[in-house]
Amino acid sequence: MANSSLTQAKSAKNDEFYTQWADIEREVQAYLEFDPNIFRGKTILCPCDDPEWSNFTKFFALHFHDYSLKKLISTSYAVESKNYREGYQLTLFEQNDPKFDADKTRTQGKIFVLDSDDINRDGVINIDDLKWDYLDSDGDFRSTEVLKLRDEADIIITNPPFSMFREFLAWIVEADKFFLIIGNMNATTYKEVFPLIMSNKMWLGNGFHAGNAYFSSPALREYADGVYNPESGLVKFRNCCWFTNIDHGRRHQPLPLMTMADNLKFSKHKELKGKTTYGRYDNYDAIEVPFTDAIPSDYDGVMGVPISFLDKYCPEQFNIVGTLESNAPDNAYRTYFYTSKECSEAYSTRFGKKGIYDLNASGVVNGVKMFKRILIKAKGAAE
């Protein structure tokens, strides 16, 4: 049920989901543990973040001094440009400020800056020293104004609009910036995203507690029971993760694994225990490993593993060599292409009616199509 909430959010194009302070804190802590100076002298841009709503801006403003930041820039998107406009509230500091403009507040984005300027002269730089103004545009991250801020920044950190994830990631990558952003785990197999993961230019972050992400949203009432919790006032997404190119310790911890023989003998998964071999794809030169904890420690060939493996991926332990969902004709491990007749027959066998079941998009074991898989190989295994 909870997984469907993200789909629901995308179809309704509701992008108003505000990240919890505790999630930001836990994630950022993982990078600081790996490198305590990771933010020293750096400019952080939060490009989808109004401080009234965004804990990202508040969090980095609070820690401006502790992290020795050079500058924090946060920009917000005009309410009139948002897909979801209900529940808009003026920020108090805007309303009480001589700069306040009743028209601009709805049609223009805002910029908030924190730097070494101790505006209230209290000897500390914090959220009280935040300067703000209206942008000339609506604050769209693709606008020339925000593009310039992107180029000025060292690190881009935010939870971007769910409906624009691909575009947002491309916007960061073209500027070659460090980043820490929230997205949907399914994005890992997008054709624009997977090559970055495969080449270790992007990886999964430390992660949400127990894999559950909770967000506040003005559109909460639209979500079903079990997704929206009226007590906490939050909506739960199970398929969210952090994407980053900043290093953290967890990604260097190898997975503890059993040998192939031990998996077949002792695995807790009935799909493997007692079998004589792992499945082998009919159309790829690789074995099918249905669970990340069942990856054999002593197999030198290519293995198809679940996407959730990426959360445990240690680049010192494995190389990612491809994906089975790309349908790329140049996949080096492809051994067989199904004809459309074979695809139709497979559909009819499975569902008892006419249709096309594109067997080529996935790995197929004994005529049965598997879930999305990522192809990996043990580090150091012969090419």
Ligand X SMILES: C[S@@+](CC[C@H](N)C(=O)[O-])C[C@H]1O[C@@H](n2cnc3c(N)ncnc32)[C@H](O)[C@@H]1O
- Contacts with ligand X by CB under 6 A lie at 15-19, 48-49, 53-56, 77, 82, 139-141, 158-162, 164
Choose between 164 and 361: whose C-beta lies nearer to ligand X: 164
Task: Work out how close the CB of 143 gets to ligand X at its nearest, in angstroms, rounded to a whole number.
Answer: 8
Compute the distance between CA of residue 216 and CA of residue 235 in angstroms, rounded to an integer: 6
Q: If you ran DSSP here, which 8-state letter would residue 135 be given?
A: -
Task: Work out how close the CB of 56 gets to ligand X at its nearest, in angstroms, rounded to a whole number.
Answer: 6
Task: Work out how close the CB of 248 gets to ligand X at its nearest, in angstroms, rounded to a whole number.
Answer: 19
3-state per-residue secondary structure call for 130-152: CEEEECCCCCCCCCHHHHHHHHH
Compute the distance between CA of residue 266 and CA of residue 244 in angstroms, rounded to an integer: 36
Choose between 50 and 325: whose C-beta lies nearer to ligand X: 50
Choose between 54 and 317: whose C-beta lies nearer to ligand X: 54
Choose between 141 and 309: whose C-beta lies nearer to ligand X: 141
Choose between 160 and 306: whose C-beta lies nearer to ligand X: 160
Compute the distance between CA of residue 266 and CA of residue 280 in angstroms, rounded to an integer: 20
Task: Work out how close the CB of 120 gets to ligand X at its nearest, in angstroms, rounded to a whole number.
Answer: 26
Task: Work out how close the CB of 220 gets to ligand X at its nearest, in angstroms, rounded to a whole number.
Answer: 14
Instruction: State the residue number with the nearest CB to ligand X.
Output: 159
If you search the block for the tokens 């929206």, which residue do you land on?
228
Task: Work out how close the CB of 14 gets to ligand X at its nearest, in angstroms, rounded to a whole number.
Answer: 9
In Å, how far are 55, 219, 223 from 19, measured between CA atoms? 7, 14, 17
Compute the distance between CA of residue 201 and CA of residue 177 in angstroms, rounded to an integer: 11
Choose between 38 and 164: whose C-beta lies nearer to ligand X: 164
Please give the full DSSP string across 39-73, using - where no structure is assigned: TTTPEEEETT--TTT-HHHHHHHHTTTTTT-SEEE
Task: Work out how close the CB of 214 gets to ligand X at its nearest, in angstroms, rounded to a whole number.
Answer: 12
Choose between 48 and 227: whose C-beta lies nearer to ligand X: 48
Choose between 141 and 242: whose C-beta lies nearer to ligand X: 141
In Å, how far are 284, 327, 345 from 341, measured between CA atoms? 19, 18, 6
If you search the block for the tokens 């101790």, which residue do you land on?
118
Q: How many CB atoms lie within 10 A of CB 31?
A: 21
Q: If you ran DSSP here, which 8-state letter would residue 225 be given?
A: B
Radius of gyration for the alpha carbons in the chain, expressed in angstroms and rounded:
24
Task: Work out how close the CB of 10 gets to ligand X at its nearest, in angstroms, rounded to a whole number.
Answer: 11
Choose between 56 and 281: whose C-beta lies nearer to ligand X: 56
Compute the distance between CA of residue 57 and CA of residue 98 in angstroms, rounded to an integer: 22
Compute the distance between CA of residue 382 and CA of residue 260 in angstroms, rounded to an integer: 18
The answer for residues whose C-beta is within 8 angstroms of residue 97's C-beta and 6 or more apart is 132
Q: Residue 213 belongs to what H/E stretch?
A: strand 213-216
Compute the distance between CA of residue 379 and CA of residue 382 in angstroms, rounded to an integer: 9
Task: Work out how close the CB of 58 gets to ligand X at its nearest, in angstroms, rounded to a whole number.
Answer: 10
